[in-house]
Amino acid sequence: ASAVLTLRRARDELMQTNRDLEVINALTLSLQSASTVEEVQANVLEAITGALAFPRAVVGLADAEGRVLGNWLGRSGNGRFLPNLPLDDVGHVPLTPDGGLVVQAIQERRTLVAEGVACTTNTAVNEYVSINHCHIIPMQLREHTIGILLVETTDSSDQLHRLASLEAIASQAAVAIGTTILCIDRARKLAVQEERIRIAQDIHDTVSQSLFGIVFTLDGCLKLLPEHVEQVVPELERTLQAADAVRQEIRHSILDLWPTQLTAERFAADLQTYAQETCQRSDTAFIFDIRGDFAALSPGARRGLYRIAQEALANIAHHAQAQEARVCVDVEGGRAKLVVRDDGRGFETAVVLARAYGREHFGLRGMQERAKTLGGDCQIFSKPGAGASIVVDIPI
């Protein structure tokens, strides 16, 4: 009879272990698709209190510096998540030797059991956890502390063989949370980098061009003074307006302000205004032609094409000595094409692009980079004496 009972107990434990492994496998798959740390926490707690049927579980996370535990999230066996603790010091447990059993478990890198004693030295956290018999399982990824997993067990002898399952879940959670935090951090850094590039491009495409015109005008005014004051005054008035426009452009670049409805008509009209202001010292004639379903372009695509056209027009104003320039946007067949052509003096494309520095080099490279970020490409065709063509092709 004793042997039969032993075999039955072993069978039951094996069946339970198999069920636990199935839960862990399902949890691992769900964690792979989690996009936030909170989603990882919720999935872990649902697996422990739902599929594994433990009465209560709580997850606390370490901060980026590994100084305190916080961001507590708990769930009971009835499927309800516990109310969130405040994110301030009320819910913090310092990761110092006097932090209680949770800190001891983290420092010793092993699971501890708290029976009838508090898990931490923070009263608010202890009331939130509210577990009498608690397995305290550290969540660590290599040498980094990710957090702590607290699980309530009903019968220590019956649950002891399931400790390996809980530790496996804690390990999976640590990997998932650590990976998610890393991805978020990388995405944040990439966003900062992209924002810096955007501001730099905007300043180059707009502000630097306007400042060039202001400096050019002021230089001319100095040459007219003091003999021709009557000619200087209107020029200074126009320069003041241009300076105010520069101020607005800087504000737009920093705050990323952009017209919500950049229609085909406004696209062409704004470029026409920009071309006239940039080329006020030349006799270049500008022709604009917008064809196809311009409304099919996303706001980002419209902005990108506008900036590329702006840079191309600035190059024409400063270098081409052209009689005529044409800007054409054609949207059809799931693609958009921007073509900017001039009949100016042209240049050797390879020579200009090979330069390490220079306004022309930066502008051409900037156009190519913008087209690339839009998923397309920018081709530059030119020969000395034969004008130049900028051809941008992007998907919509």
**pLDDT tens-digit map of 254-298:** 555 555 567 899 899 888 888 887 766 567 899 999 999 999 998
Average pLDDT of span 224-237: 85
Residue 117 burial (10 A CB sphere; 0-12, 13-18, 19+): exposed
| CA-to-CA separations, 192 to 186, 278, 370, in angstroms, rounded | 10, 31, 17
Q: How many CB atoms lie within 10 A of CB 155?
A: 8
Whether 242 maps to a domain, the answer reads: no
**228 or 87, greater pLDDT:** 228
Token readout for 86 is 């405040």
- Length of the chain (residues): 396
Q: pTM above the 0.75 mark? A: no
Q: Which residue has the tokens 């495409």?
A: 205
Cα(169)–Cα(272) distance, integer angstroms: 63
Q: How many CB atoms lie within 10 A of CB 262?
A: 17
Q: Which residue has the tokens 């073509």?
A: 339
Report the number of distinct structural domains present in the chain.
Answer: 2
SS3 content of the chain, % helix, strand, coil (to 5): 55, 20, 25
Q: Mean pLDDT check: name the lowest of 122-126, 225-229, 248-252, 298-302.
A: 248-252
Whether 194 maps to a domain, the answer reads: no
CATH code where residue 393 lies: 3.30.565.10
Identity of residue 157: S
Whether 208 maps to a domain, the answer reads: no
Does 142 share its domain with 10? yes
**The last residue of a domain, from among 135, 153, 184:** 184
**The last residue of a domain, from among 184, 214, 230:** 184
Average pLDDT, the chain: 82
CA end-to-end distance (rounded Å), the chain: 76
CATH code where residue 131 lies: 3.30.450.40
Whether 310 maps to a domain, the answer reads: yes
Whether pLDDT at 103 is above 80: yes
Whether 164 maps to a domain, the answer reads: yes
- Please tell me whether residue 40 adopts helix, strand or coil conformation: helix
Summarised one tens digit per residue, pLDDT across range 10-23 is 666 666 666 666 66
Domain ranges, residue 70: 2-184
Q: What is the dihedral of CA 244, 305, 292, 295, to 10 degrees?
A: -70
Does 282 share its domain with 377? yes
Average pLDDT of span 140-166: 79
Q: Which residue has the tokens 């397309």?
A: 376
**381 falls in which pLDDT band (50, 70, 90)?**
very high
Residue 232 near residue 225, CB atoms below 8 Å: yes
Strand 335-342 with 388-395, pairing: antiparallel
Dihedral pair phi/psi, residue 320, rounded to 5°: -80, -35
Cα(268)–Cα(252) distance, integer angstroms: 19
**The last residue of a domain, from among 184, 217, 246:** 184
For residue 60, the surrounding DSSP H or E stretch is strand 56-62
Q: Return the exposure string of 247-258: e unless at least 16 CB atoms fall within 10 Å of the residue's CB, then b.
A: eebbeebeeeee
Whether 233 maps to a domain, the answer reads: no
Cα(103)–Cα(92) distance, integer angstroms: 12
